[in-house]
Amino acid sequence: MDGLSLNPIYYTSEHRAFADSVKRFVEKEISPYVNEWDEAGSFPRELYQKAANVGLMGLGYDDEHGGIPDSDAFYVMLAAIEMAKAGSGGVHISLMIHSIGTPPIHHFARPEIRDEVMPQIIAGEKISALAITEPSGGSDVAAIKTKAVRERDHYILNGEKTFITSGIRADYYTVAVKTDQNAQGAKGISMLLVDAHSEGITKSPLQKMGWWASDTAHLHFDNVKVPVSHLLGEENAGFKVIMNNFNMERFWLAAMAYGYALVCYEEALDWAKQRQTFGKRLVDHQVVRHKLVDMATQLTTTRALLEDTAYRMGQKELQGADLIAQISMSKNIATCTMQFCADAAVQTLGGMGFMRGTKSERIYREVKVNMIGGGAEEIMKDLISKQLGY
Ligand SMILES: Cc1cc2nc3c(=O)[nH]c(=O)nc-3n(C[C@H](O)[C@H](O)[C@H](O)COP(=O)(O)OP(=O)(O)OC[C@H]3O[C@@H](n4cnc5c(N)ncnc54)[C@H](O)[C@@H]3O)c2cc1C
């Protein structure tokens, strides 16, 4: 018992069995290779199929398409914590990005398209990516400029997207486009499923502070033809499709941040128990001990908030503005906990914390993307204030 255990009231035997299989997958297929993959800036594509074999691609989807039905937010939380144990956000985000790229297909594609595409993604054979952010901005989603103009049974797509995770590797993009050029704000936006191998798409890789093993790309769409049947939801009602994605995405990002904070704490605690200075272990110095306690305290409060949020996400009567606010609070709290724990862990490891190969070094470089991606901290606060009716 380390004081940081999950609250057993929330977890069933199915949850635990799932977590155990993800744990084994991470230990065998990811952890031994993360340093090599991070330096290489990539990892083998076969990992998607291996991840699919333990159910990581099927969370939240029907069993008709190969998914895990009734997989609630606790599954997402357990998957995020177990995946974080390898200490590489780059591998993690790449493998799990389908959980933001695919829900628009699952919920809003025409049945024949959904039945064709979903099983390929859930089996890890095809990769999906979500393309919303543009060079002119990501926070103000309603201001996107990429245009899709209808010509008979196709849309002709022109514009650019940037910072797109799995942008090079993906087989499918779910792309936010402007279909009514005269409409203001959120109106006039649609979501399209785009074959990533279509003519007219140029993909350029981007270099990053962290998440090295993940592919992040800039995309150019130059007269790309997209069949009208690939519209997701209604034309000009794409903003609803985008918003529908955000709750689970943000909860998942919060759970990931918690997982990485926990990894930093465990690495620092382990080091502090072994390292000797001035004739005693680091952990025997009160200042270091208190740092570890501060990490444990932030982790415990974050974990309790995430579990309460996951519980509420599963209760129909609790859906609404308060829940949206709480999910956004969870993302902000969890990313601050990650920031605090990464900083404290690197400090506790001393020079070793600055060396490539320690988990804390990598996680330290990955903090900011968690605080920015999927809704930056400031945007979350604005959303919370609106949901609370200020
Ligand atoms: C590694 C990586 C992977 C990503 N993957 C994807 C992906 O797969 N798909 C995708 O679509 N996008 C992706 N993104 C984009 C990400 O979602 C955006 O970076 C994020 O939404 C912020 O948008 P921006 O970078 O354009 O910043 P901006 O919107 O320009 O904002 C810049 C800063 O100003 C702040 N700010 C903006 N408006 C306000 C305001 N009104 N009040 C106060 N502060 C404000 C923001 O919080 C931020 O701190 C990724 C980003 C990164 C770094």
Q: Which of 176, 70, 174, 199 is nearest to 121 (CA)?
A: 174
Q: List beta partners, residue 134.
A: 137
Atom of ligand 1 nearest to the CA of 214: 1
**How many A from CA of 257 to the centre of ligand 1?**
17
HEC readout, 287-346: HHHHHHHHHHHHHHHHHHHHHHHHHHHCCHHHCCHHHHHHHHHHHHHHHHHHHHHHHHHH
Average pLDDT over every residue of 6-22: 95
State in Å, rounded, how far the first CA of the chain is from the last one.
42
Average pLDDT over every residue of 103-113: 95
Average pLDDT over every residue of 62-87: 92
Pair of tokens at residue 270: 């382990």
Given this model, what pLDDT does residue 137 score? 87
Residues 227 and 287 in one domain: no
pLDDT digits (tens, 9 = 90+) for 228-278: 999 999 999 999 899 888 899 999 999 999 999 999 999 999 999 999 999
Last residue of a domain, one of 237, 262, 294: 237
Last residue of a domain, one of 202, 237, 272: 237
Atom of ligand 1 nearest to the CA of 166: 8
Residue listed under structure tokens 């792309």: 175
63: in domain: yes
Residue 68 pLDDT grade (very low, low, confident, very high; cuts 50, 70, 90): confident
Q: How many Å apart are CA 330 and CA 100, to the nearest integer?
A: 18
CATH number of the domain within which 265 lies: 1.20.140.10
**How many A from CA of 141 to the centre of ligand 1?**
10
4: in domain: no
Residue 3 pLDDT grade (very low, low, confident, very high; cuts 50, 70, 90): low
Task: For 275-288, give one letter per residue: b (16+ CB within 10 A) or e.
Answer: beeeeeebbeeeeb
The conformation of residue 138, written as its DSSP 8-state character, comes to: S
Residues 134 and 228 in one domain: yes
The conformation of residue 244, written as its DSSP 8-state character, comes to: H
Residues 282 and 225 in one domain: no
Label the pairing between strands 147-151 and 189-195: unpaired
**How many A from CA of 375 to the centre of ligand 1?**
6
CATH number of the domain within which 64 lies: 1.10.540.10
Average pLDDT over every residue of 121-139: 95
Average pLDDT over every residue of 125-148: 94
Asked if the model's pLDDT at residue 27 lies above 90, the reply is: yes
Residues 352 and 379 in one domain: yes
Average pLDDT over every residue of 354-363: 97
Given this model, what pLDDT does residue 4 score? 80
Q: What is the DSSP string of 257-269?
A: HHHHHHHHHHHHH
Residues 81 and 134 in one domain: no
Given this model, what pLDDT does residue 1 score? 38
Given this model, what pLDDT does residue 7 score? 95
Residues 275 and 210 in one domain: no
Element (H, E) at 368: helix 359-372
Which residue has a Cα nearest atom 2 of ligand 1? 163
Q: How many Å apart are CA 324 and CA 388, to the nearest integer?
A: 10
6: in domain: no
Asked if the model's pLDDT at residue 2 lies above 70, the reply is: no
Q: How many Å apart are CA 44 and CA 38, to the nearest integer?
A: 12
Given this model, what pLDDT does residue 245 score? 84
Which residue has a Cα nearest atom 44 of ligand 1? 378
103: in domain: no
**How many A from CA of 373 to the centre of ligand 1?**
6
Torsion (CA) 338, 343, 346, 351 in degrees, nearest 10: 160
**How many A from CA of 328 to the centre of ligand 1?**
15
Q: How many Å apart are CA 257 and CA 84, to the nearest integer?
A: 8
Residue 66 pLDDT grade (very low, low, confident, very high; cuts 50, 70, 90): confident
Q: How many Å apart are CA 285 and CA 20, to the nearest integer?
A: 36
257: in domain: yes
Pair of tokens at residue 127: 């990769």
Residues 367 and 302 in one domain: yes
pLDDT digits (tens, 9 = 90+) for 313-350: 999 898 899 999 999 999 999 999 999 999 999 999 99
**What is the total residue count of the chain?**
390
Last residue of a domain, one of 88, 123, 158: 123
Amino acid present at 361: E
Amino acid present at 97: I
With beta carbons less than 8 A apart as the criterion, state whether 103 and 251 touch.
Answer: no
H helices of 102-148, in order, are 103-108, 111-122
Which residue has a Cα nearest atom 24 of ligand 1? 138
Which residue has a Cα nearest atom 14 of ligand 1? 163
What is the reported pTM? 0.96
Residues 350 and 279 in one domain: yes
Atom of ligand 1 nearest to the CA of 161: 11
Label the pairing between strands 276-277 and 189-195: unpaired
Q: In the chain, how many domains are there?
A: 3
pLDDT digits (tens, 9 = 90+) for 215-231: 999 999 999 999 999 99
Which residue numbers are catalytic?
Answer: 249
Task: For 122-133, give one letter per residue: b (16+ CB within 10 A) or e.
Answer: bbbebbbbbbbb
Q: What is the DSSP string of 58-97?
A: -BTS-GGGT-BTT--HHHHHHHHHHHHTT--HHHHHHHHT
Residues 182 and 253 in one domain: no
Average pLDDT over every residue of 57-75: 88
Mean pLDDT of the chain: 95
CATH number of the domain within which 132 lies: 2.40.110.10
Torsion (CA) 191, 196, 202, 204 in degrees, nearest 10: 100
Residues 143 and 86 in one domain: no
Host domain of residue 79 = 13-97+111-123
Residues 260 and 338 in one domain: yes
8: in domain: no
**How many A from CA of 211 to the centre of ligand 1?**
16
248: in domain: yes
Atom of ligand 1 nearest to the CA of 165: 8
163: in domain: yes
Atom of ligand 1 nearest to the CA of 374: 17
Ligand 1: residues with CB < 6 A are: 129-133, 137-139, 163-165, 208, 211, 216, 369, 372-374, 376, 378-379
Pair of tokens at residue 210: 């962290």
Residues 291 and 364 in one domain: yes
